[in-house]
Amino acid sequence: MKKKLLPYLYSFPALLVIGLIVLFPILYTGYISLTNMNIYHWFNYSFIGLDNYVKALFVMDSGFIPAVLRTLLWTVINMMLQVVLAFFIALALNAEGLRLKNLYKTLLMFPWAMPGYVSILLWRMGMFNTEFGMLNQWLRTMGFENINWLSGNVMAFTCCTVVNLWLALPFMIMMIDGALQSIDKAYYESATLEGAGFFTRTGKITVPLLRPIVAPAIIMSTFTTFKQFDIIYLLTQQQGAKTGADIHTIITYVYEKAFITNNFGYSSAVSIVIFAMIIVLSIFTRKDLKEEGR
């Protein structure tokens, strides 16, 4: 009996810490989501049941549903661009006869190695600034007028996508590059002897062999992109420096409701919905990973 209880006794401190750090905040957030807690009802809040969930999911003017759709669009576009661009850049880096490969790979890692906050503000002030940004300086040199890069929804969304690619591409390139180097060159030599061209070799050999190796990196990047906050907030939503563009994703939407309008009950309900979405995505991706590993 003691031997059976001993492992649980040893693991109890770790389980207690996990419970306090992870489980308790989730349960407390779930509790707050059932109340009308806000800056005016900090201590004297009342229980309102599922009203916050109904508002988030079924009241279209709440802003949550548009934020969800925009988040899905953001994730799909960014991941498609990341995977495609990283794949072809990695292929180019592995081309036979290419000189200074290590130098190129080192330079490509700089955006990923820099602190994200610094990179984003450099893009905002150095590239997208209406008066002093390099993009508008180039436009003025060619005789064009300034463009407010971050004021319109479509333009701001595009600029945020560019910055996200700048920050995220190096990681994906590194993953695909490592996977490419693990493929046995004998496959390509045999295919070449049989008359297979570049596209045939890529489609029949490279892509199938890359999938199980790169899939975890793609899934991890998908979750990171889905939860992206810094880029959208710092470029368009930062307090005192808002640009006028409304490109809220679900993460920036929750932040605004919690810390700008101080509607803690509603923001907690939205957080629980997001948590449920991530759990569902995790279950599906776990199944995909198991299938890839077979």
- Each residue of 255-267: pLDDT tens digit? 888 888 888 899 9
Q: Are 224 and 243 in contact (CB under 8 A)?
A: no
Tokens of 268: 């907690």
Integer Cα distance of 76 and 165 in angstroms:
13
Helices 207-226 and 264-293 pack at an angle, to 10 degrees, of: 170
Position 65 confidence tier, pLDDT thresholds 50, 70, 90: confident
Q: Is residue 45 part of a domain?
A: no
Position 225 confidence tier, pLDDT thresholds 50, 70, 90: very high
C-alpha distances in Å from residue 197, one per residue of 33, 177, 203, 220, 228: 58, 21, 10, 33, 40
Q: Is residue 18 part of a domain?
A: no
Backbone angles phi, psi at 35, to 5 degrees: -125, 175
Q: Is the pLDDT of residue 292 over 60?
A: no
Position 2 confidence tier, pLDDT thresholds 50, 70, 90: low
Q: Is the pLDDT of residue 294 over 80?
A: no
C-alpha distances in Å from residue 36, one per residue of 42, 52, 65: 9, 8, 21
Q: Is residue 286 part of a domain?
A: no
Tokens of 81: 């661009």
Domain total for the chain? Answer: 1
Integer Cα distance of 113 and 153 in angstroms:
29
Q: Are 136 and 52 in contact (CB under 8 A)?
A: no
Over residues 182-197, the pLDDT tens digits come to 888 888 878 888 777 8
Q: Is residue 170 part of a domain?
A: yes
Mean of the pLDDT values across residues 100-125? 85
Position 80 confidence tier, pLDDT thresholds 50, 70, 90: very high
Burial of 197 (0-12, 13-18, 19+ CB in 10 A): exposed
Q: Is residue 143 part of a domain?
A: yes
Burial of 205 (0-12, 13-18, 19+ CB in 10 A): middle
Q: Are 214 and 129 in contact (CB under 8 A)?
A: no
Q: Is residue 10 part of a domain?
A: no
Q: Is the pLDDT of residue 163 over 90?
A: yes
Tokens of 103: 């130098």
SS3 194: coil
Q: Is residue 83 part of a domain?
A: yes
Q: Is residue 210 part of a domain?
A: yes
Average of per-residue pLDDT values in the chain:
85
**More confident call, 207 vs 166:** 166
* Residue-number span of the structural domain to which 97 is assigned: 69-214
- Can you give the CATH number for the domain in which 155 is found? 1.10.3720.10
Selection from 38, 167, 57 nearest residue 115 by Cα:
167
Tell me the sheet residues that pair with 35.
Answer: 47
